[in-house]
Amino acid sequence: MKKIALLSVLSLACATETYAFDSSLLPTEVSQTLNGGNLDTASANNATLLNNQSVVELSPSSSMKYPAQNKMFGSQLFKGAFASTAGSTFNSSYQINPGDNINLRLWGAYQSNGTQTVDPQGNIFIPNVGPVKVAGVRNGNLQSVVEAQVRRIYVSNVGVYAALEQAQPVKVMVTGFVNQPGNYGGVANDSVIAYLDRAGGVDPERGSYIDIKVMRNGQTIQQVDLYEFLLQGQIRPFSFRDGDVIVVGQRTHTFNVSGEVYNQNDFEFNSPAVTLAQALVFAKLKPGATNVSIQRRQGAEYRSEYYSLNQAHNVMVEDGDIVTVTADRYAGTIQVRVNGAHNGAHAIVLPYGAKLSDVLTQLQPNALAEVESLQLFRPSVAKRQKEMLNVALDKLEETTFNARSSTQEEAALRLRDAELVKQFIVKARQVEPKGQVVLNPDTFQDVILEQGDILHIPEKTSVIMVHGEVAFPNGIEYRNGLSAKNYIEQVGGFSQKSNKSKVIVIRQNGKAELVRKGEKIKQGDEILVLPKAQTKGIELTRGITQVLYQIAVAAKVALDL
């Protein structure tokens, strides 16, 4: 029995995005999440602290000195959605400002109808009533404030209606670490995010998402943390005035989280260090996470630390750290599906490392089952087949577009070939391999099964399928002793585009064989005729032929040229 070694490679550096948070505003739910979620699960599986550290000296050419630029968490806000949407003129939270127009109507014993503009002192003037202070009043309270002042003079018999007619347009300066500092127009109740979006957003390389100030006359009147909006959905209402300034500060501290988390990003924080527990709350752990590694730059070195998640409250994450969350668990059981000529359960649970022989004892094949031709389909094999097919297509594409021509006529022919090959490559990339593992009936009992394997028990059949580049693809009744050529003749013979020299015969167990036309066909076989590649270059023809065979074996289809 052959031993099969399975190697798994864990990547410590994943392509990620970036996030920031204010550690002083850590919500109460954070500690509850950490105490009741994945960290307790990790404790049960990793009772002891794994504090192994290693020091890696960086060579002058080391790529670790020049990490790939990651997307900061928060940068997804600024794609134009906020800039193009004006704030609602009739927002009930909007505060009345000088310059706003108030539609005022009085009827009954005294009548008046007109528009009053809020003067620089914040008042409107109502005839027979006098000045009424409305600046600073919320739009939703305007009616009650005006009516209360009118009732001081007209106790009854006079109706009152007051409504904000139009919010005053304002100009707001946006500066600091933004992509396009400048003076931007809007209305007073537009959000800070809207003005930042109009300025091209926060500079993703240098700007801060948690240190944003709104200034008026040189004084800070509001501090904005965009992570409150991103993580908690909170944004404090604010009324801008002409001449207000939004200042985006410089980013100070960041760390990166990747691996078994839902938010793989860079995060920003406003203190030199935060606990690992705080960092992981914002990254949001996946259910299977158990451990974490931290890479920390110290001079010319990277120091690596490894912990179980139950130590997250006691481990600090510092500026520039790279945090990778892993799932150091091993499968206890696997599930294998069974279909085809089978009367028993279609899902079988087996211990990790089980062999095909462990499944055979649980099968209940029906009367037509061909257990000797058992077929095994494996997702990992399908993935690998797809990868190899894409490599072959990449080489074919490179060969096609790098070919040189010595004459104008040859160039025209190559251009025609290139267009045909381009269309062929597009179709070929859409093919999904089946991932079949061809089994030897004498030894398949020793095959080690994997999670997600599918076992198919074929049925006995009296039909030979003939398809591909033949005149009339069809199923033909099996007759003992006939060759592949005999069956092809019964479906009208080869098509004009066929490769007549050889055909592919797919046995009932899934094994594909390249045979001559005189090959004797067995019961349950399938005949596949491939097209003939006819192009200007030998290399191009060879590349297309290779792809055709790969697709025929991996997907059991003959792709048309």
The answer on 245 and 257 residing in a single domain is no
Q: Could you identify the residue written with the tokens 């007759």?
A: 479
Does 96 map to a domain?
Answer: no
Residue 319 counted as domain residue:
yes
Q: Are residues 347 and 211 in the same domain?
A: no
Q: Are 354 and 377 found together in one domain?
A: yes
Structurally, how many domains does the chain consist of?
4
Same structural domain, 161 and 182: no
Query: Which domain-ending residue is among 294, 326, 358?
Result: 326
Please tell me whether residues 136 and 67 are part of one structural domain. no
Does residue 344 lie within any of the structural domains?
yes
pLDDT at 8: 34
Q: Does residue 214 sit in the same domain as residue 273?
A: no
- pTM as predicted: 0.50
Residue 344 to residue 516: CA distance in whole angstroms = 40
Q: Could you tell me how many helices (H) and strands (E) the chain has, helices first?
A: 11, 28
Is residue 9 one of the residues assigned to a domain? no
CATH number, domain of 153, equals: 3.30.1950.10
Q: Does residue 121 belong to any structural domain of this protein?
A: yes
Tell whether 317 and 187 lie within a shared domain: no
Residue 394 domain flag: yes
The whole-number mean pLDDT for each consecutive block of 10 residues of the chain, a chain of 561 residues, reads 34 37 38 44 39 37 37 75 59 76 88 88 89 88 89 86 78 90 84 87 87 91 85 79 90 88 87 88 87 85 86 89 85 89 91 92 91 92 91 83 70 76 86 90 89 93 92 94 93 89 88 88 92 69 75 72 55
Residues 342 and 437 in one domain: yes
**What is the Cα–Cα distance from 487 to 464, expressed in whole angstroms?**
8
Residue 273 lies inside a defined structural domain of this protein = yes
Q: Does 136 lie in the same domain as 174?
A: no
3-state SS string for 459-505: ECCCEEEEEECECCCEEEECCCCCEHHHHHHHCCCECCCECCCCEEE
Q: What is the pLDDT of residue 68?
A: 38
| Residue indicated by tokens 């211990």 | 351
Which residue among 250, 270, 296 closes a domain?
A: 250
CB 12 within 8 A of CB 293: yes
Same domain, 319 and 420: no
Side-chain-side CA neighbours of residue 58 (13 Å): 18
The verdict on residue 92 lying in a domain is no
Domain end residue (candidates: 166, 190, 211): 166
Determine the structural domain holding residue 369 and report its residue range. 330-561
Shared domain for 538 and 464, answered yes or no, is yes
Q: pLDDT at position 90, please?
A: 55
Nearest to 518 by CA among 552, 496, 549, 488: 488
Regarding whether 501 and 433 lie in a shared domain, the answer is yes
User: 78: exposed, middle or buried (C-beta count within 10 Å: 0-12, 13-18, 19+)?
Assistant: buried
